[in-house]
């Protein structure tokens, strides 16, 4: 099989883990280049040792590299602000972009929910780690009953939050909340991120709350469990931490206003353990992003 050539921009944790995943796991893709801005980064050093062409001159260095014309897909693992620049530089060259930052220049893509709807888009946005973990659950609940309000809390180890993650906190909450609505189907969405300083570091945990009206409780549970299995097909460490919980929301409940009156609260508790290809197992937040991006790139390569 002829492999589709891809390039990765960003030689930090996410970019390096993504490179290793493509090399180890993909039969459709070949990493042709990695671009960074730190000549001393571990990511560029590892790429060179693995036979991948490198540049420390960023996207401009990537465009100037021999073999750039053969690259079909570029995966951007930098930051929201940097992606705006990278996308502008790459625009004249006709490359497909997969954006692992919260820049959201292109449509939000969550593989088991809406990937097939955006196969022709030139720039696909992978939302956020919290979005990749929780939007599928909101979409699953929405498939069984209308979701009037969705709120998610993503708790990640502070050790897994590098400079890029910390610089994008505002974009994380805004992009994730919007994706809960646009992709997940919630009438209103809210996202919260918690950087947990616990030592030893804790595995990523995600809590999803959906306020709905009257519903078929078994249909909701079945839809959520089915979606969890679909995500786990490409993120093996993705799992329910406990059974789906559904309780009535009465007239005196603070959530009643969000429910538009009486209804139900659906609570889903998730855990995301990383595959530890490059990052520690507790960094499930980064692993789910690179796994989702790999899923998208392989689909585009078909």
Distance of alpha carbon 29 from alpha carbon 14, whole angstroms: 17
Task: Using DSSP bridges, classify how beta strands 123-125 and 96-99 pair: parallel, antiparallel or unpaired.
Answer: parallel
User: Does residue 136 have a known ligand-binding role?
Assistant: no
Tens of pLDDT, residue by residue over 258-268, are 767 778 999 99
Q: What confidence tier does 254 reach under pLDDT thresholds 50, 70, 90?
A: confident
The percentage of the chain sitting over the pLDDT mark of 90, rounded to a whole number, equals 89
User: Does residue 236 have a known ligand-binding role?
Assistant: no
**Quick one: pLDDT at residue 302?**
82
What CATH number does the domain containing 216 carry? 3.30.360.10
| Domain co-membership, 44 together with 156 | no
User: Does residue 161 have a known ligand-binding role?
Assistant: yes
Q: Are 154 and 102 in contact (CB under 8 A)?
A: no
What CATH number does the domain containing 25 carry? 3.40.50.720
| Domain co-membership, 23 together with 115 | yes
Residues spanned by the domain of 236: 129-280
Distance of alpha carbon 38 from alpha carbon 53, whole angstroms: 15
Tens of pLDDT, residue by residue over 99-138, are 999 899 999 999 999 999 999 999 999 999 999 999 999 9
Catalytic residue numbers?
Answer: 129
Q: How many domains does the chain have?
A: 2
| Domain co-membership, 133 together with 244 | yes
């Amino acid at each position: 099989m002829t492999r589709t050539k891809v390039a990765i921009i960003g030689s930090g944790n996410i970019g390096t883990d993504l490179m290793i995943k493509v090399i180890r796991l993909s039969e459709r893709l070949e990493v042709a280049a990695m671009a960074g801005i730190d000549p001393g980064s571990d990511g560029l050093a590892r790429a060179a040792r693995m036979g991948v062409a490198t540049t420390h001159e960023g996207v401009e260095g990537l465009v100037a590299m021999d073999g750039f014309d053969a690259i079909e897909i570029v995966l951007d693992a930098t930051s929201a602000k940097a992606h705006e620049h990278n996308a502008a530089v790459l625009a004249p060259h006709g490359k497909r972009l997969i954006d692992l930052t919260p820049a959201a220049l292109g449509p939000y893509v969550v593989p088991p929910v809406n990937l097939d709807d955006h196969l022709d888009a030139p720039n696909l946005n992978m939302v956020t780690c919290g979005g990749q973990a929780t939007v599928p659950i909101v979409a699953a609940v929405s498939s069984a009953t209308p979701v009037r309000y969705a709120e998610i809390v993503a708790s990640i180890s502070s050790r897994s939050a590098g400079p890029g993650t910390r610089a994008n906190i505002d974009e994380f909450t805004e992009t994730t909340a919007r994706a809960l609505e646009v992709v997940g189907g919630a009438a209103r969405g809210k996202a919260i991120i918690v950087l947990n300083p616990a030592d030893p570091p804790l595995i990523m945990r995600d809590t999803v709350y959906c306020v709905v009206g009257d519903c078929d409780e078994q249909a909701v549970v079945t839809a959520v469990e089915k979606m969890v299995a679909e995500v786990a097909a490409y993120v093996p460490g993705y799992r329910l931490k406990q059974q789906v919980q559904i309780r009535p929301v009465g007239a005196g409940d603070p959530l009643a206003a969000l429910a538009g009156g009486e209804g139900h609260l659906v609570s889903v508790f998730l855990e995301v353990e990383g595959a530890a290809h490059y990052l520690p197992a507790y960094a499930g937040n980064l692993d789910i992003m690179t796994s989702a991006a790999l899923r998208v790139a392989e689909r585009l390569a078909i």
